[in-house]
Amino acid sequence: ALLVQDSRDQPVDMAEGSGLHLDASIAFTRAVCEAAQSRLSTIHGGRDDLTSFYDRLRAQGAARNVRQPLVHREAFARSRGLRWAELPSLPVQGQGIEALLALLLQRLARQGFNKVLRHRFDLPLEGLQVVKIIVPGCQEAAAPLERAGRRLLARAGHQD
């Protein structure tokens, strides 16, 4: 799930969130929580890096204004919208982590991502496991176009 705002009139997204899970309800809950946390951090003033975004955007100037509509067209196209019932979802209650990991690896391989890197952090906290997953070639849909890869540009209909 990914919650974004149509920020064509606002150059810095002040609250967005994303959540990843096989179960759409859990992914959505994570995205909402992350968006709320992002917004609360902005309101609280705990983010001292926000002003640097404005400096970068000012420096990018007109070039950003040309590139940004491509991202917005893809993100907010009504024809690409889904109803909640249409979202792919897999209830995971009672399934072990190894079975879920195998399923994720299968789905990634079907999309051409054959290399997945995993690092498990060994923390002295009972009941908490932390891993970092890296999928080379996979990227965020809202990535700036100067960093966009072939897959994202093709999906957005970008022509060279």
Domain ranges of the chain: 2-110
Helical (H) or strand (E) element with 118? strand 117-121
Q: Number of C-alpha atoms within 13 angstroms, CB side, residue 150?
A: 3
Output 103 or 67, whichever has higher pLDDT: 103
Predicted confidence (pLDDT) at residue 138 exceeds the cutoff of 60: yes
The count of residues in the chain is 160
What share of the chain in percent tops pLDDT 70? 56
* CA separation for the pair 160, 143 (Å, rounded): 18
Mean pLDDT of 104-128: 88
For residue 152, name the pLDDT band (cuts at 50, 70, 90). Answer: low
Quote the pTM value.
Answer: 0.59
Give the DSSP letter string of 38-52. HHHHHHHT--TTHHH
| Residue 20 confidence (pLDDT) | 82
Q: Which tens digits make up the pLDDT trace of 37-94?
A: 888 887 877 767 666 766 776 776 655 565 566 666 666 666 666 788 888 888 888 8
| Long-range contacts, stretch 146-155, CB < 8 angstroms, 24+ apart | 146/67, 155/74
Distance in Å from the first CA to the final CA of the chain: 30
| Residue 155 confidence (pLDDT) | 64
Predicted confidence (pLDDT) at residue 160 exceeds the cutoff of 60: no
Lowest mean pLDDT among 6-20, 84-98, 129-143: 6-20
